[in-house]
Chain A
Amino acid sequence: MDLPTIWFVLIAVLWIGYLVLEGFDFGVGILLPALGRNEPERRAMLHTIGPVWDGNEVWLLVAGGATFAAFPEWYATLFSGFYIALFLILLALIFRGVAIEYRNKRPELAWRTRWDWLIAAGSFVPALLWGVAFANIVQGVPIDADKEFTGTFFTLLNPYAIVGGLTTLTLCLTHGAIFLALKTDGDIRARANRWAGRIGLVAAVLAVAFLGWTLMLRGNPAAVATSLLAAVALVGALVANRLGREGWAFLGTALTIGLAVTTLFVTLYPNVMPSSTDPAFSLTIENASSTDYTLTIMTVVAIVFVPLVLLYQGWTYWVFRRRVSAPTSTVEP
């Protein structure tokens, strides 16, 4: 594998890391006002993601920074082209981040409820729009000979992309509900388990439709294999959820998201942003990448630090491995 291809894989890994990890905290965020029936329950729900959500979000920043460093043309075309969509995502992430940190800073219920809705909305928008964005990248968007995006925000809102957005949205919801069942106790745990089963069915239908459509657009044998595995993982997750095997269910949805993102990157290869105007204008791994010198440095940094990050983030999950319960029901030791 040459360096640009290695970095194509690494960018995919960063996005998988981001969507698998932030995927469940998006799900918990969206479910917060609906699944949490009262203040102690909502607090317990937030507590499950409290120590980790910010670290999860850094995967996005690193994916963005790494794209800038390894594929400047991709970074430039994508973020200037998907301007309004990205703006909406950023706005949502701003509100969400502040809301998670500020809701507990005052005791009044009205104050907390207001932030809860911002947490939900701020989780909903990116969970939907990242899917829309990725579907558009895979499908191809109008890009001219100067690598400039020539469409508008509404170019992005096509049926395929909307199915893609709904797929990521429902996958995040299922992933989040299963995470809640895994990390809580008592009523919330049972409720999260039921909701995961129901939303999971919708997610399964959408995911099959979206991945099937993707294969029809740009299928290749490898993508068929990864999307089949994604489907198996999702079915496995739902069965495990039904049986109350929460750890296995969570592994299942994590694998589903990871394999779905893998499918998208596999169909994309060797392009990074295909042009729907003329295939000759497509951004590819070769014409969008940085020099070998820069990629070598980045590779060394990644080899040293990515495992380290995984190690200490993993340790965080281990430190906070205990279930959280709403304070009214039981007091945790």
Chain B
Amino acid sequence: MDPLLLARWQFAITTVYHFLFVPLTISLAFTVAGFQTAWYRTGKEQYLRLTKFFGTLFLINFAVGVVTGIVQEFQFGMNWSDYSRFVGDIFGAPLAIEGLLAFFLESTFLGLWIFGWGRLPKGVHLATIWIAAIGTVLSAYFILAANSWMQYPVGYTVNEAAGRAELTDIVAVLTSPMALVTFVHTIPAAFMTGGAFVTGIASWRLLRHPDTDRPAFRTAAKVGAWMVVVSGLLVAITGDIQARVMTDAQPMKMASAEALWETSQPASFSIFTIGSLDGSEEIFSIRIPYLLSFMATGDPNGKVEGINDIQARYEEKFGPGDWTPNIPVAYWSFRLMIGAGILAAAAAAWFLWLMRRDRLPTRFMVATAILLPFLPLAANSIGWIFTEMGRQPWIVWGLMTTPNGVSPSNPWYAVALTLVTFTLVYGGLALVELSLLLRQIRLGLPTVGPESAPTGEGEPALALGY
């Protein structure tokens, strides 16, 4: 077996799996902080109960996010050692800074938040969850800056003698258009995910137990739905900007996303195609005229370069070879990502309409609500598959190809062993986590005492602790 293929599968599985938890961690941290702030300011018990309810779900999710993140930190060295040697001077810095600035904040202040109920003054305790939440966003920024450098290398020179890329401008790396636009695209996507999660759970509770805690869950369902709608809008706007940055930086990725073989002006956007995507024939497709030109260039009559022309250009620049990514994967992942995102935002808007004033969710709506969190989750994963597979055959765009980055001396069976084990363990953890989430959701809002429970050390106050 080919160690390269195994290493790529391992990276894909560990990263996509890790990223199921990351967006939920980011957005739920803020949601819980929001509920706790509402409790702090109004003193209303329902906000405290929501804080604890979603706080517990947040922590169940956070645990798996943390442990899968450890693998992320080390797998560059384990499976991609030649990549690490080549880029370490540049890529290592944001990773180390992420740990020092963000991971310490998140883990330390979450520890304070979990165990600090009743021990810290209320205001200080509230601050701990906000600081942890800010830590999650900082973390996202640095890791996205690192990834963006792989998509669009800036601020470096290649030192041929040392055989590596060397950093010349850290500010350029941290403020590259790719890094900034990816950050503002990913964060609202995370909030869509968390919003959908909150709405889905709250609506389910409203239907199954319409008499318990109706006002609290109505509030939560609406807050969640608003999060999805507003961040959905932001995701669309920033995605549009990102498409233009991508067209400039990685024209091949954009052309592949559309399976646009021939350079076109104006270029139409195909929503759906039946037939092969190899450029030979198209059996049937639904197309929106001018849309691709607009997405790629901002001008409905703009010229969009096709795969064939780009391939010819790259052969001149990089030598003979196939410089195209997997076209069907790029094509379908691009539209599935957009489609799932739009569907989620539309469903959430429809919910808000149905729940206007005092209306309760309908049965059909609840069935949709349970599926709702899976739409942004799918869009996130598929978006990353598009981003990473659309960059192929490069591991660092234009500088290093993926086969050149893999660890040269790892035997296939070692990579296979870790791939299979991580996959099985991750699968098992997913089942355990899901069962715990469902159990917690079934238990409903925790009860809090008259003096708003967080008293000293008693059992109820420890609901979040151990």
Say if A and B assemble together: yes
Q: How far is the CB of B97 from chain A (nearest CB, A)?
A: 6
Enumerate A119-155 residues with CB–CB distance to B below 8 Å: 146-150
User: A331 vs B418: C-alpha distance in the bound complex, in angstroms?
Assistant: 46
Residue A333 is within 8 A (CB to CB) of chain B in the complex = yes
Set B73, B87, B408, B432: member contacting A65, Cβ < 8 A:
B73
> Which of B108-116, B242-250, B325-333, B445-453 makes up part of the contact surface?
B108-116
A290-B88, A305-B100 as given contacts; A80 in contact with B410, CB under 8 Å: yes
User: A122 vs B57: C-alpha distance in the bound complex, in angstroms?
Assistant: 24
Contacts of B465 in A (CB 8 A): 47, 50, 104
A72 x B84 contact (CB < 8 A): yes
User: A320 vs B421: C-alpha distance in the bound complex, in angstroms?
Assistant: 37
A100-B466, A102-B60, A150-B409 as given contacts; A57 in contact with B107, CB under 8 Å: yes
A43 x B466 contact (CB < 8 A): yes
Contacts of B78 in A (CB 8 A): 79-80, 83, 86-87
A76 x B70 contact (CB < 8 A): no
User: A316 vs B115: C-alpha distance in the bound complex, in angstroms?
Assistant: 10
Q: Which residue of A lies closest to B103 (CB)?
A: A58
Q: Which residue of B lies closest to A104 (CB)?
A: B466
A98 x B88 contact (CB < 8 A): no
How many A-B contacts if CB must be within 8 Å? Answer: 234
Contacts of B107 in A (CB 8 A): 54-55, 57-58
Q: How far is the CB of A38 from chain B (nearest CB, A)?
A: 15
* Per-residue interface assignment for chain B, residues 421 to 442, with 1 indicating a CB less than 8 Å from any chain A CB and 0 otherwise: 1000100010010001001100
User: A150 vs B408: C-alpha distance in the bound complex, in angstroms?
Assistant: 11
Set A53, A75, A98, A332: member contacting B77, Cβ < 8 A:
A75
B93 x A106 contact (CB < 8 A): no
Set B69, B409, B410, B436: member contacting A102, Cβ < 8 A:
B436
A76 x B71 contact (CB < 8 A): no
Set B69, B77, B96, B116: member contacting A62, Cβ < 8 A:
B96
User: A60 vs B107: C-alpha distance in the bound complex, in angstroms?
Assistant: 13
> Which of A88-96, A222-230, A267-275 makes up part of the contact surface?
A88-96
Residue B68 is within 8 A (CB to CB) of chain A in the complex = yes
User: A61 vs B114: C-alpha distance in the bound complex, in angstroms?
Assistant: 22
Q: Which residue of A lies closest to B407 (CB)?
A: A80
Residue A110 is within 8 A (CB to CB) of chain B in the complex = no
B114 x A50 contact (CB < 8 A): yes
User: A81 vs B408: C-alpha distance in the bound complex, in angstroms?
Assistant: 10
User: A296 vs B167: C-alpha distance in the bound complex, in angstroms?
Assistant: 11
Set B71, B92, B414, B429: member contacting A98, Cβ < 8 A:
B429
A319 x B119 contact (CB < 8 A): yes
Contacts of A54 in B (CB 8 A): 66, 107-108, 110-111
Q: How far is the CB of A10 from chain B (nearest CB, A)?
A: 10
Residue B64 is within 8 A (CB to CB) of chain A in the complex = yes
A65-B92, A69-B95, A76-B77 as given contacts; A316 in contact with B112, CB under 8 Å: yes
Set B59, B66, B74: member contacting A79, Cβ < 8 A:
B74
Residue A101 is within 8 A (CB to CB) of chain B in the complex = yes
Residue A216 is within 8 A (CB to CB) of chain B in the complex = no
B167 x A293 contact (CB < 8 A): yes
> Which of A192-200, A241-249, A252-260, A306-314 makes up part of the contact surface?
A306-314
Residue A291 is within 8 A (CB to CB) of chain B in the complex = yes
Set B71, B79, B85, B89: member contacting A294, Cβ < 8 A:
B89
B92 x A69 contact (CB < 8 A): yes
User: A65 vs B76: C-alpha distance in the bound complex, in angstroms?
Assistant: 10
Contacts of A47 in B (CB 8 A): 115, 465-466
A87 x B418 contact (CB < 8 A): yes
Contacts of A297 in B (CB 8 A): 93, 167, 170
Residue B240 is within 8 A (CB to CB) of chain A in the complex = no
Contacts of B68 in A (CB 8 A): 94
Of A54, A84, A105, most B-chain CB atoms within 10 Å: A105
User: A51 vs B116: C-alpha distance in the bound complex, in angstroms?
Assistant: 9
User: A82 vs B439: C-alpha distance in the bound complex, in angstroms?
Assistant: 40
Contacts of A319 in B (CB 8 A): 112, 116, 119-120
A69 x B96 contact (CB < 8 A): yes
User: A320 vs B466: C-alpha distance in the bound complex, in angstroms?
Assistant: 14
A291 x B167 contact (CB < 8 A): yes
Residue A68 is within 8 A (CB to CB) of chain B in the complex = yes
Contacts of B414 in A (CB 8 A): 83-84
User: A54 vs B67: C-alpha distance in the bound complex, in angstroms?
Assistant: 10
A105 x B164 contact (CB < 8 A): no
A77 x B81 contact (CB < 8 A): yes
A101 x B99 contact (CB < 8 A): no
Enumerate A280-333 residues with CB–CB distance to B below 8 Å: 290-291, 293-294, 297-298, 301-302, 305-306, 309, 312-313, 316, 319-320, 327, 331-333
Contacts of A90 in B (CB 8 A): 70-71, 74
Contacts of A76 in B (CB 8 A): 77, 81-82, 84-85, 88, 407
Residue A189 is within 8 A (CB to CB) of chain B in the complex = no
B89 x A97 contact (CB < 8 A): no
Residue B237 is within 8 A (CB to CB) of chain A in the complex = no
* Per-residue interface assignment for chain A, residues 31 to 44, with 1 indicating a CB less than 8 Å from any chain B CB and 0 otherwise: 00000000000010
A97 x B66 contact (CB < 8 A): yes
* Beyond A80-B407, A90-B74, A291-B166, 16 additional pairs, beta carbon < 8 A: A46-B466, A55-B104, A55-B111, A60-B70, A64-B99, A65-B95, A65-B97, A66-B100, A75-B88, A75-B92, A79-B84, A80-B78, A91-B421, A146-B408, A319-B119, A331-B458
Between A and B, 9 residue pairs with Cβ closer than 8 Å are A51-B112, A75-B88, A79-B78, A87-B417, A102-B436, A293-B166, A293-B167, A294-B167, A305-B101
Q: Write the residues of chain B forming the contact surface with A, with a CB cutoff of 8 angstroms.
A: 56, 59-60, 62-64, 66-71, 73-74, 76-79, 81-82, 84-85, 87-93, 95-101, 103-104, 107-112, 114-116, 119-120, 164, 166-168, 170, 407-410, 414, 417-418, 421, 425, 429, 432, 436, 439-440, 456-459, 462, 465-466
The 6 closest A-B pairs by CB, nearest first: A72-B88, A79-B77, A69-B92, A68-B92, A65-B96, A101-B63
